Amino acid sequence: MKSYSELTREELLELKSELEKKYEEAKAEGLALDMSRGKPSPAQLDLSRGMLDVLNSSSELKAENGTDVRNYGLLEGIYEARKLMGDIMGVPAENVIVCGNASLNIMYDLVSRAEVFGFDGCTPWAKLDKVKFLCPAPGYDRHFGITELFGIEMITVPMNEDGPDMDIVEKYVNNDESVKGIWCVPKYSNPQGVVYSDETVKRFAALKPAAKDFRVFWDNAYAVHDLYPEKEVKLLNIFDECKKNGNENMVFELCSTSKISFSGAGISAVASSKNNIEEIKKYMTKQTIGYDKINQLRHVKYFKDINGIKEHMKKHAALLRPKFEAVLDTLEKDLAGTGVGTWTKPLGGYFISFEGLEGTAKAVVQKCKDAGMTLTGAGATYPYKNDPKDSNIRIAPSYPSLEEMSKAAALFTICVRLVSIDKILETK
Amino acid sequence: MKSYSELTREELLELKSELEKKYEEAKAEGLALDMSRGKPSPAQLDLSRGMLDVLNSSSELKAENGTDVRNYGLLEGIYEARKLMGDIMGVPAENVIVCGNASLNIMYDLVSRAEVFGFDGCTPWAKLDKVKFLCPAPGYDRHFGITELFGIEMITVPMNEDGPDMDIVEKYVNNDESVKGIWCVPKYSNPQGVVYSDETVKRFAALKPAAKDFRVFWDNAYAVHDLYPEKEVKLLNIFDECKKNGNENMVFELCSTSKISFSGAGISAVASSKNNIEEIKKYMTKQTIGYDKINQLRHVKYFKDINGIKEHMKKHAALLRPKFEAVLDTLEKDLAGTGVGTWTKPLGGYFISFEGLEGTAKAVVQKCKDAGMTLTGAGATYPYKNDPKDSNIRIAPSYPSLEEMSKAAALFTICVRLVSIDKILETK
């Protein structure tokens, strides 16, 4: 295909007219497609239905150590659930606390505690004049939402194909004491699907933070979420690397079963150093009597162990893969060579990141919406919802059916092309 | 029985020698009794086993409004669960948010948000020189634990038979702008089992707080926890009264099913004015993707409605009543007339409050512990764990079996008598 910028004004206008016809046809279909969030589809949720049978009224409702999972107590969760979640992260059970249904809530609580009480004896962040977080972007909007709420200054760090730009990360972390944290999705990053390279992980682990209470929020949300399980991509274990540098207290790793079992009713976990785990428990014991241990036991009984999880994830992959491929095929077919966009081709996770011409993302999202297709708001992938180039769009192929997804992808490229042509025409 | 203070030194020493023999006998039994917390017994937890069958792999996992309860979303909980929890509190579903398994966590989050963000546009508490909470005491140790953690100054308010001393409450709340909250367990208070009188509730609702952001934390933990369901004691609806005074924003009411279904795996809820509910949601949406809706649906399917809950609570009462009566009978038999203690005779809730001679509570708790019986730490029922008279002991009869409970009660009065005799002997 010829690059649009090389087409004449007349050629562009003709193409536009064709595309407008297609757009009107799509609009007439009265689509109602939601591609706004990384929501598993009903078929994916059906994969875990069996979990609702593993505990019933005649079950022995006890953890391995004899604890009655129905009653109060066991703040850190039942051991076997800590082991299961630890195995997802590659961390010993002893370094894991199992929490409620949302790892987001763990991250919120961590930031909130740092603000009010401070980490490890340091000044509470709320008492400091300035607190900054590094935000590799495009990134996860809900991460940015937490730091924005607490009035933490967010500094955008560019994302490369092997993770955040580590030169910039090192410059800030090692020199600026007001930099207290960084948000990372190290495997199949949201939204690019980037897996941090070994080199990137090693550079993280070797940081020499100016602030003693600087923390890496290592949100391993897609730790076992491979689309092509046979080519599973390995992420280096950050805690192993941190140990070599005496940096064990620097990292909080998070994970959950939200995209393994039930998105709204899974279990989540935090892993960290012994020191940090003790500190978390000190505050948790004032905050709650402990999280739902019946649901923890349900997860353990259903998945059994990390191999059970991996087998289960192959079924998710089988449902997700065709949807990703449908989007990627359509992008390729409709946009390759046009010069109006680039996109990632992730091997796992929940998103495809699309990079359009500067100044087009908002208009594309709006145009899609007008035809019945909801995308994540343009800009949401950047701190303060402000994409400086207005070019990034997050595509979430998981929720619609395969058929809907194919239609959605076609509509998406129509909108991208129409908006891009208008943009190019401005300069002709 | 003759009052111990009227006995001669010799009579006391003889009695002491008898009791010491009994104490050694009890000790030799090698008891291991836990009466430290208001934990339901295994038999009580068994009452809700059927809840584990109402949802299984072939269930339609949808809320009334069609929401897939397995997926993300519906921050405030499914409507039917809001209705159920609202009915427990006597509040419309619209004013209710259903949360996770611990109402304690809701209270922690409310205080935490007030500290960091402030209520209703007011200055965040963390930015004020002084923040005070009124703490009717004896009271619930975990309430005091939250305010202590946040460095809030706790002011003890005496508890009368109809609730907190309202003259003192009014004096503080209506005149001191630094008084920002009060902890209340208005029905079957922890630990006395006091139900606030209509007059008390009306005086609460008619408060004219000096601080716009003063809040009543109305922890209705035992709303349906009658020991004698046929003589159910009514608590006046505080929101109805608040409306008459234009005070709708002043109250957060809390409840949970922790002592209805499963203590570690129930659901909890907060009720408040429309304004406050909107404010809570504004922060919650940054904090979580919403709580476990499968568990919410499980509760609704199992209990169906408030009548289902009430029927279920009769079964709890049937298990708890004999234990309370065993304790009360033993206290009566062994201590009536001795002048060494008074105790409450609650019609509901989870505790009996025992008031011994000044300076005896710690010693009694220790003596019980030495014989294998764990009570709540003496002092725990007061702010800063500091019972100024060292006289209050919380008895939690729910967890041990009836047989164990009878032994425990007998051991308790032996310890009370021994410690009290020593105390009296000091003055002879």
Q: What is the pLDDT, as a whole number, of residue B184?
A: 98
Chain Cα centroid distance, residue B157: 16
What residues of B are in contact with residue A37 (Cβ under 8 Å)?
72
Tens digits of residue pLDDT in A371-386:
999 999 999 999 999 9
Whether residue A428 has pLDDT greater than 90: no
Fill in the amino acid letter for A279: E
Question: Could you tell me what percent of chain B has a pLDDT over 70?
Answer: 100
CB A297 within 8 A of CB A61: yes
Exposure string of A390-425, with b = 16+ CB inside 10 Å and e = fewer, is bbbbbbbbbbbebebbbbbbbbbbbbbbbbbbebbe
CB B183 within 8 A of CB B143: yes
Asked if A104's CB is within 8 angstroms of B45's CB, the reply is: no
CB A380 within 8 A of CB A138: no
Whether residue A39 has pLDDT greater than 90: yes
| Nearest-angstrom CA–CA distance, A178 and A134 | 11
Task: Please count the other Cβ atoms lying within 10 Å of the Cβ belonging to residue B426.
Answer: 8
Mutation target vs A (from B286, B301, B316, B384; most A CBs, 10 A cutoff): B286
Asked if B146's CB is within 8 angstroms of A126's CB, the reply is: no
Residue B396: Cβ-neighbour burial (10 angstroms; 0-12, 13-18, 19+): buried
Q: Is A173 helix (H, G, I), strand (E, B) or coil?
A: helix
Tens digits of residue pLDDT in A296-348:
999 999 999 999 999 999 999 999 999 999 999 999 999 999 999 999 999 99
Asked if A69's CB is within 8 angstroms of B264's CB, the reply is: yes
Dump the DSSP string for A56-86: -TTS--B-TTS-BTTSS--TT--HHHHHHHH
Of the pLDDT bands very low, low, confident and very high (cuts 50, 70, 90), residue B35 is confident
Tens digits of residue pLDDT in A12-24:
999 999 999 999 9
What residues of A are in contact with residue B45 (Cβ under 8 Å)?
61, 68, 70-71
Dump the DSSP string for A138-166: S--HHHHHHHHHTTPEEEEEEEETTEE-H
Q: Which of A186, A200, A121, A111 is nearest to A154 (CA)?
A: A111
Residue of A nearest to B73 (CA): A264
What residues of A are in contact with residue B112 (Cβ under 8 Å)?
112, 116
Report how many Cβ contacts below 8 Å link chain A to chain B: 162
| Nearest-angstrom CA–CA distance, B92 and B162 | 27
Question: Could you tell me what percent of chain A has a pLDDT over 70?
Answer: 100
CB A68 within 8 A of CB A61: yes
Instruction: Cis check for the bond before A400: say yes or no (omega within 30 of 0).
Output: no
What residues of B are in contact with residue A283 (Cβ under 8 Å)?
149
CB B174 within 8 A of CB B137: no
A19's enclosing H/E stretch is helix A9-28
Length of chain B: 428
Whether residue A2 has pLDDT greater than 90: no
Tens digits of residue pLDDT in B159-193:
999 999 999 999 999 999 999 999 999 999 999 99
Mutation target vs A (from B101, B106, B149; most A CBs, 10 A cutoff): B101
Q: Which of A249, A389, A424, A397 is nearest to A326 (CA)?
A: A397
What residues of B are in contact with residue A105 (Cβ under 8 Å)?
287-288
Tens digits of residue pLDDT in A308-320:
999 999 999 999 9
CB B393 within 8 A of CB B364: yes
Question: Could you tell me what percent of chain A has a pLDDT over 90?
Answer: 96
Residue of B nearest to A296 (CA): B265
Give the residues across from A163 on adjacent strands: A160
Name which of A48, A142, A265 is nearest B292 (Cβ-Cβ): A265
Tell me, yes or no, if the pTM score tops 0.95: yes
3-state SS track over A310-356: HHHHHHHHHHHHHHHHHHHHHHHHHHCCCCCEEECCCCECCCEEEEE
- How far off is chain B from A378, nearest CA to CA, in Å? 19
| Nearest-angstrom CA–CA distance, A206 and B196 | 60
Per the prediction, chain B carries an average pLDDT of 97
Q: What is the pLDDT, as a whole number, of residue B232?
A: 76
Mutation target vs B (from A34, A98, A101, A374; most B CBs, 10 A cutoff): A101
Task: Give mean pLDDT, residues A129-146.
Answer: 98
| Nearest-angstrom CA–CA distance, B295 and A37 | 23
Per the prediction, chain A carries an average pLDDT of 97
Asked if A100's CB is within 8 angstroms of B283's CB, the reply is: no
Mutation target vs B (from A288, A376, A399; most B CBs, 10 A cutoff): A288
Whether residue A35 has pLDDT greater than 90: no
Fill in the amino acid letter for A239: F
Q: What is the pLDDT, as a whole number, of residue B34?
A: 86
Asked casually if ipTM beats, i.e. exceeds, 0.90, the reply is yes
- How far off is chain B from A357, nearest CA to CA, in Å? 31
Q: What is the pLDDT, as a whole number, of residue B360?
A: 98
Tens digits of residue pLDDT in B351-389:
999 999 999 999 999 999 999 999 999 999 999 999 999
Asked if A264's CB is within 8 angstroms of B73's CB, the reply is: yes
| Nearest-angstrom CA–CA distance, A252 and B253 | 34
Whether residue A36 has pLDDT greater than 90: no
Length of chain A: 428
Fill in the amino acid letter for B407: K
Q: What is the pLDDT, as a whole number, of residue A14?
A: 97
Task: Give mean pLDDT, residues B265-284.
Answer: 98
Asked if A56's CB is within 8 angstroms of B53's CB, the reply is: yes
DSSP B348: B
Asked if A72's CB is within 8 angstroms of B39's CB, the reply is: yes
Asked if B52's CB is within 8 angstroms of A53's CB, the reply is: no
B183's enclosing H/E stretch is strand B179-184
Q: Which of A148, A271, A196 is nearest to B283 (CA)?
A: A148
